[in-house]
A and B are shown apart, each in its own frame.
Chain A
Amino acid sequence: KNQVEQSPQSLIILEGKNCTLQCNYTVSPFSNLRWYKQDTGRGPVSLTIMTFSENTKSNGRYTATLDADTKQSSLHITASQLSDSASYICVVSASLNYGGSQGNLIFGKGTKLSVKP
């Protein structure tokens, strides 16, 4: 069964500190892995996307890594800010084919990050 597991469920850190969120997946076939940020009361916004051949991707203070062999990804946030408080959702695409792939996304349940002053 295709699954995406995220850890921890929730995390509290102090402003300025770094943190790492984890995503483990058992999805086949694997096409790509995306991290979304979802602010409270808003829809998710894409942060990064990595395909099979990519093992790191950065977006400002956000750096995502992918190990396709162990089927693990992490999202590292550097020098956290209060605005980083949000849920972070890992999404894996379970399709290699054009056609039908957009409806074949496996969503993790998210990690809720709280950054305190």
Chain B
Amino acid sequence: DVKVTQSSRYLVKRTGEKVFLECVQDMDHENMFWYRQDPGLGLRLIYFSYDVKMKEKGDIPEGYSVSREKKERFSLILESASTNQTSMYLCASSLGDRSTDTQYFGPGTRLTVL
């Protein structure tokens, strides 16, 4: 079974702090994704990566950056956390880039920025 793990289930940070969210997948997937999920808005794509050291902006990249130094690990970075970044963050991975390839999601990190 594919396993996608995220470093924290719950995180509380203060405004202005630098925040790192880590995601690891164990199935040698090429693609990895970061989404945020907010009530009434559904899932929105922040960034994704097709390969090591490659990244593409999603729909809402502002205020975020990412890093993919190893194939199995994809990090989301909030350079200076703000209260409007309080959200559920979901990481996903997929084997390849066919539109039918399934995205497998991690359990999510609920981030609260005070």
| A binding-site residues for B, Cβ under 8 Å | 31-32, 34, 41-46, 49, 51, 89, 93, 95-96, 98-105, 107-110
Contacts and interface: CB of A to CB of B under 8 A. Distances in A.
A41 B110 CA distance: 9
A95 B48 contact: no
Interface residues of B, number: 28
A93 B90 CA distance: 19
A31 to B, nearest CB: 4
Contacts of B102: 34, 46, 49
A32 B99 CA distance: 7
Interface of B: 4, 31, 33, 40-45, 48, 50, 56, 58, 90, 92, 94, 97-108
A109 B40 contact: yes
A98 B101 CA distance: 11
25 contacts: A32-B99, A32-B100, A41-B107, A41-B108, A42-B107, A43-B4, A43-B92, A43-B105, A43-B106, A46-B103, A49-B102, A89-B43, A99-B97, A101-B97, A102-B33, A102-B48, A102-B99, A102-B101, A102-B103, A103-B33, A103-B48, A103-B58, A107-B43, A109-B40, A109-B42
A96 B98 CA distance: 9
Closest 9 CB pairs of A and B: A43-B105, A101-B99, A109-B42, A31-B99, A93-B99, A107-B43, A107-B42, A103-B48, A46-B102
A100 B41 CA distance: 23
Chain A CB count within 10 A is highest, among B45, B99, B100, B101, for B99
Contacts of B33: 102-103
A108 B45 contact: no
Given A34-B102, A89-B42, 12 more contacts: A43-B92, A44-B43, A46-B102, A98-B99, A100-B97, A101-B97, A102-B50, A103-B33, A103-B45, A104-B99, A105-B103, A109-B40
Nearest to B48: A103
A95 B90 CA distance: 22
A46 B72 CA distance: 21
